[in-house]
Amino acid sequence: MKKVSMIMACYNSAPYLDHMLESILAQTYDNIELITVNGSSSDNTSEKLRSWVQAFKDRGYGMLNIEKPGSSLNDAVNEGFRHFTGDFVCIIDSDDYVSPEYTWALVRCLEDAPACGWAKCDAAVLIDDTMGQLISKNANRVSKPYITDDMIRFIARLDYLDGWTIMMRADYLKRCLPDLRLPDAVSHEIALIALLSANGSYAHIPRVLYYNLRHKGSGHDRYYSAIESAISSLDSCIYSFNKSLSYVDMEKDKRERYETAFSFRFLKKKFFLAHRLGHCDICDPFIKDLLLSLINNINMSAPENTLDNNSAFYCAPIACAALINIILSIPLSCSEDDLASIKEKGFIIYGAGSYCKFILPALKALDLEPIEIWDKSAAAGDSLNGYPLINPSDARPHSPILIMLSYDLTEDILRNQLRTIPRDAVYTTDEAESILIAAFVKKYMPDKAAELTYVGKERRQPAVN
């Protein structure tokens, strides 16, 4: 049985270590070594790590604890790279935990896909609230399995940077990083995404196998608690990606496409974050200058459709997505007739959560407003932003339905709340986003509309009333 090496950096991790270490010992895979690298922890992290050595030995696992005072996260990962002996390598966070099938499923995936150098699973984000309860944000997330070498598309559609959901073949890691040392002053997660994606194909497992805990004081908590810091980190993230990519021998044109994909995707995420937290508006010089430069660069042919201050901020994420699709020729998941169809028939939005609230102003700016919004928690007389809010159990479908959720639960929805509605009348979140991109291009970039590529199926557009 091939060996899996797990590298775990630790810093003041004592309150969370037991959960992670217990989840490693519960793995269904039997050949694992854990390498921990402890920085300058001021709590009892070192003592707690040592107390687990015998349990790992009894399980038949190796456990190497390394003390490296003053080390950064990158230093810790590099130290782990120096000591691992496994055939597969993964990097985990000390304050998270993994599913029992985490290592087995990733190893099996790579063994079934010998051409792939690395594999990736899905993750659930868990928030530790003030009552100490864990609230899962996307534990039921559904993804489609695939194997691909189209890394441009992978980067442009990247949801989040999560090095802990990745398992690498050791020989592939050494090919991507011959000296087994990540570049200095860069995020190890961004560096890994850049290096691994630039060198070959990967396989994706559509299962949640990793649980990322965001608690008060964690890196993620600090990141998301201050929008100013989140936005200001944009340049450093792009710098990390581009610097890491400079270590790869690749053609100039390909390198530029990788850099463009990452830059626009990350910019879109920042716009989304800024809007959701309500900390900045179109008057913010950072937002305004970036947005205007993006719009000007596409050389719009219809001045009367230029984004004004009211619509620009709301449409900014869609603008970035549209630019990604045009620059990188990424196919849209809808058909060319879908936009005309929902304009003609009107449409209903399913899901009244944060994603719906975020997208409603953009829909208005694009002259696309829903007839009503469905949500399973809606009560009689509810409304959202002036639109009727209706419980699906009390509603009769009379128009196409666009699912607007921050993660894809489409199949479950179709089987349950929407089981009586013809499938061709329901647009998944990915399809709905593609329709919005097409709407943005047709309104604000009409000379670029012919460059969009549609891969969605032609719909019969059945009557739904």
Sort residue 54 into left (φ over 0), alpha (ψ -120 to 50) or beta: alpha
- Most confident listed range (142-156, 258-272, 332-346, 402-416): 332-346
Question: CA 445, CA 257: separation in Å to the nearest integer?
Answer: 21
- CA–CA–CA angle 373, 376, 381 (5° rounding): 60
Judged by DSSP in three states, 463 sits in coil
Domain with CATH 3.90.550.10 in the chain: 4-252
pLDDT in tens, 316-341: 667 777 777 776 777 888 898 999 98
Burial (CB count within 10 angstroms: exposed 0-12, middle 13-18, buried 19+), residue 229: exposed
Which of 275-289, 300-314, 318-332 shows the lowest per-residue confidence on average (mean pLDDT)? 275-289
Q: What DSSP string describes 401-450?
A: EEE--SS--HHHHHHTTTTTS-GGGEE-HHHHHHHHHHHHHHHH-GGGGG
Which of 79-83, 133-137, 149-153, 316-320 shows the lowest per-residue confidence on average (mean pLDDT)? 133-137
Question: CA 51, CA 369: separation in Å to the nearest integer?
Answer: 59
**pLDDT score, position 144:** 47
Q: Top-level CATH class of 4-252?
A: alpha beta
Contacts with 54 (C-beta within 8 Å, 6 or more apart), sequence order:
none
Band of pLDDT at residue 187, cut at 50, 70 and 90: confident
**pLDDT score, position 200:** 76
Helical H runs in 300-399? 309-328, 338-345, 354-365
**pLDDT score, position 223:** 41
**pLDDT score, position 55:** 97
**pLDDT score, position 356:** 83
The answer to whether residues 106 and 206 touch, using CB atoms and an 8 Å cutoff, is no
Q: Is the pLDDT of residue 84 over 80?
A: yes
- Most confident listed range (159-173, 232-246, 255-269): 159-173
Phi, psi at 71, each rounded to 5°? -80, 145
